[in-house]
Amino acid sequence: MSDPTAEAELARLRAEAELAEARLQAAQARAALAAAEAAHAGSAPTPDAAATPDATAPDAAAARGSAPDPAASGPLSSDEVAALTEAYAFAGAALDLGALVNGEAVASAQVRIPLAMTNRHGLVAGATGTGKTRTLQLLAEQLSAHGVAVFAADIKGDLSGVATPGQPNEKLLARAAGIGQDWAAGASPTEYFALGGSAAGSGASRGVPIRATVSGFGPLLLAKVLGLNATQESSLGLVFHYADREGLALVDLSDLRAVLTFLTSDEGKAELKELGGLSSATAGVILRELITFADAGADVFFGEPEFDVSDLLRTAPDGRGVISLLEVPGVADQPTLFSTFLMYLLAELFEVLPEVGDLDKPKLVFFFDEAHLLFRDASKDFIAAITQTVRLIRSKGVGVFFVTQTPKDVPGDVLAQLGSRVQHALRAFTPDDARALRASVRTYPTSGYDLERVLQELGTGEAIVTVMGEKGAPTPVAWTRLRAPRGLMSPTPAAAIEAAVAASALLPAYGTSIDRESAREILTARMNAAHEAFAAAEAAKEKAKLDAEYARQQAAIDKARAAADKKAQQEYERLLRRTAGSTRTTSRRAPKTPIEQILGSTSADTLLTGVIRGLFGTGRR
């Protein structure tokens, strides 16, 4: 079912477009009439030249020796053009963006950004293919020329051309001349970086490796990367707190997994109980997300040596700022990690750089490309952290330019901190696009343009510009035809990039990964020691048990022996009593002779008695 509101919005836009077309035709008719009247007076150019508001008009005016009327075919009057020209005529150093467009380019009305205001941040926005990358390259080249270091992510590889002189052609030179640009090919000092992995010769990861430790990355950014909810994020923060308290360095993802595994063991649960405990279910979710994260190849981004962000603030021997390009052509595979890693670098800059206040020029301008990836599905705490960083990092001498498709991709609190804006063309193919367009228009100061129409009519390399002036106030909106970069507007050849990486002064420091003792090794040693101690305790317990059993059996034996001895003694005493002690002797007798043995036996005694009785006649019958 169609949306009545959306259809009404599209109808309104079509009506306004038709009205604008009618106004343009009326203006052309008036111009033709004026040209005809001037021709009759003998002081005007030919009617054809005056009636056609195209590129031939400036040439005709130049042939007469006078400048064309800047209000001849555009929406702005001569007074408005003069006011815009004055508004962008800054006294201090500035970056040249291009020339004002009022129907045609007005070469005398140059649009610029004060160099000192580039640390007040900015936005470069526009639909795909409208020239955002070239604008970024133009700004980077000029900042470098003024001695300002630049950092930018090179997602498609196109920005690498900044290191190679551009190639002139007739179209380029004609366009440059038309906007008052004295174009000349030039290259800028460039350093190539890659997220983790190897250096030159490794395909998609060409560049000096940039790595971060898990501890340095922090729980807030890591929770964003892993897509954790508020409860899981809080639990992850507890794990980081425990690791920091116990001196467990979290260098890579295996260290974090080791800590989580330990804290869900019986020993770990006891240690964490005083801090509130860690749910086994929550720990399981985090562990599963970490495993998936590592399997996707993200583990190469974490490790040592950790990158020192001060290496982004370098200048070349000739005084130009070094342009640091993060080569990330595979960002589509890890978009959230990419954007969050950029935020990590920005947070590190905020952490390590000293306060410097307002400078004549920033130390570094940081271009945050694909900014919508950073803010998508971000928590309130995460947005608050970004807003604070952007608000305060200006005093550290760092400017931030967010590069995205529409201003609505950037939260309002962050957008309010951006002093300069370069808005390329926007498209309105759907009702949602139309609403986004109207929302974008409402964020600009009032101007003489019908921005809702102009933003859809901008050509490639054109933009609506408003910047923060030298007095801190925004300049009027200016439809601008942007200058062409001096570097190559296509990627630098791969061989040249690899040669530059191999020759980099930073490669010896960051090129080789190191693996020092960290949480995983410490906990493994601790667990092994605990297992050995447990085994020793179990062995001691078993020995004690065996010793006790032996003692018990020995005691039983001793008891039985004592009882037997006692019984024997009792029997002996009983026998003594029965024999009245006749068998008691005190000395050993000599062995009996055989006759004594016979005589001493009971049978011998009976026999002897019978013999005696027979002899003496006392035997009984």
pLDDT above 70 for 340:
yes
Question: In this prediction, what percent of the chain has a pLDDT beyond 70?
Answer: 78
More confident residue, 14 or 75: 75
441-468 burial, b at 16+ Cβ within 10 Å, e below that, comes to: bebbeebbbbbbbbbbebeebbbbbbbb
Element (H, E) at 151: strand 149-154
- The region of weakest confidence among 195-199, 350-354, 485-489 is 195-199
pLDDT, position 52: 33
Average pLDDT of 207-218?
Answer: 91
Within 276-391, strands assigned E span: 323-327, 364-368
Q: Is the pLDDT of residue 522 over 60?
A: yes
71 in helix, strand or coil?
A: coil
Tokens of 415: 């957008």
**Partners of 193 in beta bridges:** 208, 326
Provide CATH 3.40.50.300 ranges for the chain.
111-210+309-510
Cβ neighbours of residue 328 closer than 8 Å, sequence gap 6 or more: 153, 154, 155, 194, 195, 338
Instruction: Inform me whether the pLDDT recorded for 8 exceeds 60.
Output: no
Backbone angles phi, psi at 18, to 5 degrees: -65, -40
Q: How many CB atoms lie within 10 A of CB 128?
A: 8
The pLDDT score that the predictor gives to residue 380 is: 80
Contacts 24+ apart (CB under 8 A), 382-390: 382/220, 382/224, 383/411, 383/413, 383/414, 385/220, 385/347, 386/343, 386/411, 386/414, 387/411, 387/413, 387/414, 387/417, 389/343, 389/346, 389/347, 389/350, 390/121, 390/414, 390/417
pLDDT interval class at 514 (50, 70, 90)? confident
Q: Are 6 and 431 in contact (CB under 8 A)?
A: yes
Q: Which fold would CATH assign to domain 111-210+309-510?
A: Rossmann fold (3.40.50)
Lowest mean pLDDT among 123-127, 486-490, 584-588: 584-588
Q: Give pLDDT tens digits for 572-592.
A: 888 888 887 555 454 455 566
| Count of helix runs (H) and strand runs (E) in the chain | 22, 12
How far apart, in whole angstroms, are the C-alpha atoms of residue 596 and residue 74?
161
pTM above 0.75, yes or no: no
Average pLDDT in the chain: 80
- From residue 262, give the alpha-carbon distance in Å to each of 143, 250, 393, 520: 50, 14, 38, 10
| Residue 37 scores a pLDDT above 60 | no
How, if at all, do strands 478-482 and 462-466 pair? antiparallel
Structure tokens at 49: 């030249």
Cβ atoms of 500 and 190 closer than 8 Å: yes
> CB under 8 Å to 427, separation ≥6 — which residues?
127, 433, 456
| HEC per residue, 390-446 | HHHHHHHCEEEEEEECCHHHCCHHHHCCCCEEEECCCCCCCHHHHHHHHHHHCCCCC
pLDDT in tens, 311-337: 999 999 999 999 999 987 655 567 777
User: Widest CA span of the chain, in angstroms?
Assistant: 205
pLDDT (0 to 100) of residue 613 = 57
**Comparison of pLDDT for 98 and 70, the residue scoring more:** 98
Neighbours of 496 (CB within 10 A): 13
Task: Report percent pLDDT > 90 for the chain.
Answer: 35
Residue 419 · residue 122 · CB < 8 Å: yes
CA 606 to chain centre: 120
Among 156, 147, 144, 149, smallest CA distance to 369 is for 156
